[in-house]
């Protein structure tokens, strides 16, 4: 599991680790963080493809002949703009939220158990029907190495990376090997959640401004659009654990679960997120970026 040291991931890993006879291995930049008893931490920097490979190798060494029952890719970040770069030269939000998880899933999926479960945390922000900042087209090369920045570029980069997460999930569903081993693939959005670490590198003014929006404008919009009703990290983490453990599952033929006002619903993702052409382009171009043939 990734993304366990802040926000909803803290609560999710507590619920998962509390299950009897459950072994949990997590990837984290700071492995000295306090984790639930028995949880094993291995260093992981999702902004470095070399670190992702080292983490995957370390996981397999620890597991030996054992298989992975549940793989939860939950980590995410949002920056103030799209000017920061990863260790490999890609835009940082795109690298961490999408490329690092894409590579990790490609490396670990062959080691998953039959009837296993792959869960990828996405966001309703991928959908133009929910937010006007969501991507209406997809250019992976421009996302990886953007030439334009400016106000709102950080949020747009985040929304696009979450679309890539959803398309990655769609790609895994279509794989013959995943079908043959009956691995469930789920794209989960926790909804608008308070107490997360997203945007932590923003200026103090911007953090105060966003908090003001959430407590005023979003609350008003939430009277008409339930997607804008603020949830808690505790409930979102509990829901992620329920999805990961199979307590909550989508209807047959669906993979998208969205938490709205604390309850799981199963809407259609955006039209672009359902595009086979976009799905195949993300899979193919991401493979080239991470060095997989």
For residue range 239-269, list pLDDT tens digits in order.
999 999 999 999 999 999 999 989 999 999 9
Give residues with Cβ within 8 angstroms of 245, minimum separation 6. 15, 16, 19, 70
What's the average model confidence in pLDDT over 86-107? 98
For residue range 198-225, list pLDDT tens digits in order.
545 555 655 555 555 555 655 555 555 6
Contacts 24+ apart (CB under 8 A), 41-46: 44/2, 45/87, 46/2, 46/75, 46/95, 46/96, 46/97, 46/100, 46/101, 46/104
Reported pTM? 0.90
Confidence of residue 38 (pLDDT cuts 50, 70, 90): confident
Per the structure block, which two tokens stand in for 63? 């597991």
Per the structure block, which two tokens stand in for 182? 């009956």
Can you name the residues that pair with 118 across neighbouring β-strands?
71, 185
For residue range 172-203, list pLDDT tens digits in order.
999 999 999 999 999 999 988 765 555 455 55
More confident residue, 214 or 37: 37
CA dihedral 172, 2, 88, 167 (to 10 degrees): 30
What's the average model confidence in pLDDT over 274-289? 98
More confident residue, 226 or 142: 142
pLDDT of residue 215: 55
């Amino acid at each position: 599991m990734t993304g366990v040291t802040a926000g909803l991931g803290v609560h999710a890993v507590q619920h998962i680790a509390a299950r009897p006879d459950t072994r949990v291995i997590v990837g984290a930049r700071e492995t000295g963080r306090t984790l639930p008893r028995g949880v094993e931490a291995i260093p992981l920097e999702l902004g470095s493809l070399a670190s992702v490979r080292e983490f995957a190798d370390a996981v397999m060494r620890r597991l030996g002949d054992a298989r992975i029952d549940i793989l939860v890719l939950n980590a995410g970040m949002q920056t103030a703009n799209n000017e920061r770069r990863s260790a490999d030269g890609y835009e940082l939000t795109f690298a961490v939220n999408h490329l690092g998880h894409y590579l990790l899933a490609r490396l670990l999926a062959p080691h998953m158990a039959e009837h296993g479960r792959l869960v990828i945390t996405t966001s309703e922000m991928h959908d133009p029907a929910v937010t006007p900042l969501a991507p209406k087209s997809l250019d992976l090369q421009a996302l990886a190495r953007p030439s334009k920045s400016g106000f709102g570029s950080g949020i747009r980069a985040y929304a696009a990376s979450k679309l890539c997460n959803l398309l990655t999930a769609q790609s895994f569903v279509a794989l013959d090997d995943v079908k043959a081993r009956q691995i469930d693939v789920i794209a989960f959005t926790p909804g608008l959640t308070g107490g997360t670490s997203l945007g932590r590198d923003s200026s103090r003014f911007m953090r105060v401004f966003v908090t003001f929006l959430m407590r005023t404008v979003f609350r008003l919009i939430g009277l008409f659009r339930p997607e804008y009703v603020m949830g808690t990290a505790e409930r979102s983490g509990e829901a992620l654990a329920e999805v990961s453990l199979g307590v909550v599952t989508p209807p047959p033929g669906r993979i998208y679960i969205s938490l709205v006002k604390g309850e799981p619903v199963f809407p259609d993702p955006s039209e672009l997120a359902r595009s086979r052409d976009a799905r195949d382009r993300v899979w193919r171009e991401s493979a080239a970026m991470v060095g997989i043939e």
